[in-house]
Amino acid sequence: MDPKQIAVCLLQTADHVFLTYDQFHRQSYPLTFRVGFGKATYYQSLRNTFWQRQPKRQITIGTKMIQDKLSSINKASLWRTAKEINIHRYWDGKLTPQTLLCHTLLHEYAHYHQETKGYRRANRVHDAGFYRCLDALYDGPVAQSLMDALMDHKVFCELDFAESDEAISPANSYFYVGQIISFDYAKETHVATILRVNRVRLTVELKNGSTMYVPKPLARPIDADKN
């Protein structure tokens, strides 16, 4: 599927939804959207000249970012947006192409609110002020309305991970950053949190704070609903 077509669908839908629920703020602080051709996906606020009354505010969605996030769930889990879904339990912690890309749009729009509402501090980007803005999008109608609008598009509904990682198999399950797993080592069963997902092993943090590598075949995902 053409990543540029996906990006255009994402941006046009997001622009409409955000404008619907945030019309007054968008009129006060104009915002544009563009498709980029690299991995870079970001919110930017720049003044081209000293005399410019309003900075140019823009959200860029990179087509290579979309390709990378859709290549496999392992690669997708390495992105900050995937970690946020898991840690903050956005979309009930479910990582799918739909929740990941929808959250990406909400993440960048939260940066827009962070800057225009005065929460942005020098050299501090993903801080408490940012997550206050992001949580507000989920607490209100914006997040679900954006997902509903995106799901009206066939190109978005049919997105799926390519599952190109050799390490992924039905027996091995899907692993992602922030997931709780158990494994047997030195005649004991250990519980740990995944810090990084590699092709054949996981970097995990034990309850005592130490880290170690665990081969994927030894790791067993723990159902969060049972803990």
Percent of the chain with pLDDT over 90: 56
Range of the domain at 219: 180-226
pLDDT tens per residue across span 56-93: 999 999 999 999 999 988 888 889 999 899 889 899 88
Helices (H), the chain: 3-21, 23-28, 63-71, 73-76, 80-88, 97-116, 128-139, 142-151, 154-157
Quote the number of domains for the chain: 2
Q: Does 115 lie in the same domain as 26? A: yes
pLDDT of residue 49: 60
Task: Report strand pairing: 180-185 vs 211-215.
Answer: unpaired
Average pLDDT, the chain: 87
- Of the given ranges (17-31, 46-60, 118-132), which has the lowest mean pLDDT? 46-60
If you average pLDDT over residues 134-163, what whole number do you get? 93
Domain boundary among 157, 190, 210: 157
**Residue 163 exposed, middle or buried by CB count within 10 Å (0-12, 13-18, 19+):** middle
Q: Does 94 lie in the same domain as 21? A: yes
Residue 117 resides in a domain: yes
| pLDDT(169) > 50 | no
